[in-house]
Copies of this chain bind each other. A is one copy, B any other.
């Protein structure tokens, strides 16, 4: 049995219900899954500033999730913001995120893959993050929809047609052998798209969720979680208390 939390790291609960339903329909029988979003903040994370604004609340929600007994938490944005910080902060709850989960999976499914992003602004940041995971030579290309996050479902037909066109370009010109949807809000397209283009299409919501189920199981069964030596060494409670960080940041007994 695993208890899993999906955090929509935005200040709107608009996507929570649809995702909750989605997870219920694909989860293992004995998985318990909850979806939450943030108390406040921007409604998408297309800018680094928005990421910075929501980062502390994400981390505190992750820390609270461990306290609440979750086995795994997923930070639901393809930028994977807060992933390394979370591993530092928690003891042994496992944490994952779409960029990491999708790219490690895609890397085993073809020689090279391409990532469909909302706007070209995303590319340098995602390239840097995915390269840090070792994906530099696995990336055939990034393909930009030219659509903002909140336009992805305005006309699903338009979005889908662009996805098909970009995928064909990626496969025929860039050497991609499969596609990754590089935004959680691109949900709902993968199945139709992989039928249309004839190669696998990794969904940025499903992949990290199933990965979370796996690593929660590995943790519970074999004690495998991220190492707490060196990079993910925890901040000392004594410091946090001495500096009154809980009071300063209104964390009410989190630590």
A residues near B (Cβ < 8 Å) are 11, 26, 28, 40-43, 46-53, 55-56, 59, 82, 84-85, 88-89, 96, 100, 104-105, 107-112, 120-121, 123-125, 128, 132-138, 171, 175, 177-178, 190-191, 194, 198-200, 202-203, 206, 210-211, 213-215, 217-218, 221-235, 239-240, 243, 245, 248-249
Contacts and interface: CB of A to CB of B under 8 A. Distances in A.
Copies in the complex: 6
B231 A177 contact: yes
B56 A171 contact: no
Contacts of A56: 52-53, 55-56
B48 A88 contact: yes
* Complex A-B, nearest 9 residue pairs according to Cβ-Cβ distance, in ascending order: A134-B134, A177-B227, A110-B227, A111-B124, A47-B235, A40-B248, A48-B85, A178-B227, A111-B231
19 contacts: A41-B245, A46-B235, A48-B84, A52-B85, A100-B108, A105-B224, A108-B215, A109-B227, A110-B230, A110-B231, A120-B230, A133-B134, A134-B136, A171-B229, A175-B230, A177-B230, A194-B223, A199-B228, A200-B223
A124 B243 contact: no
A88 B49 contact: yes
Contact of A231 (B125, B194, B230): B125
